[in-house]
Amino acid sequence: MLNAALALIIWTFLIWILMYIRRLPAMKKAKIDPQDAKHHGSLDNLPSAVRAAGENYNHLHEQPVIFYALVFYTVLSGNDMTGGASDVWLYYGAWAYVALRVLHSLVQVSFNHVTLRFLLFVLGSFVLMGMAAYNVLIAMG
């Protein structure tokens, strides 16, 4: 499960790189002084594809925080080593969540279809809820 968390961390760094690959040339082309970007919303006049990478990077610091907490709770509590169906579900749930977040990113930084992004977000949310519920059931015995 920790490898799933590491994979999402690496993915976040890749989106960070993409954000600056898109943002820095766009700021130069638009003649935006980096100091002028000190306030939220100051880059709103950049092209949509440029903003989408930055917005996705921010998204990878929102709900995934719950994922990281669940992974670390699961591992530290030993719930990933119960030997039953739950630890398998938690393991595959973690990787399913990572896959859904990667898909969410790919949609957002490419054709950015909001309804599809929302569906991927909701599916990821359900995976997290399921992982949390399994942890609660294991903790209750």
> Which tens digits make up the pLDDT trace of 49-82?
999 999 999 999 999 999 999 999 999 998 887 6
40: DSSP letter? T
- Asked if pLDDT for residue 17 goes beyond 80, the answer is yes
Model confidence at 83, in pLDDT bands (50, 70, 90)? low
Res 37: pLDDT: 86
Q: Tell me the C-alpha distance between 6 and 109, whole Å.
A: 21
Q: Is the pLDDT of residue 7 over 90?
A: yes
CATH of the domain at 30: 1.20.120
- pTM for the predicted model, two decimal places: 0.93
pLDDT of 84 reads 64
Cα–Cα distance for residue pair 48/65, rounded to 1 Å:
26
Q: How many domains does the chain have?
A: 1
**Enclosing domain of residue 11:** 2-140
For the record, the structure tokens of 80 come out as 């990933």
Residue 113: DSSP 8-state = -
User: In whole numbers, what is the pLDDT of the chain averaged over residues?
Assistant: 94
pLDDT value, residue 47: 96
d(CA 131, CA 85): 12
Phi-psi region of 84 (alpha: psi -120 to 50; beta: other; left: phi over 0): beta
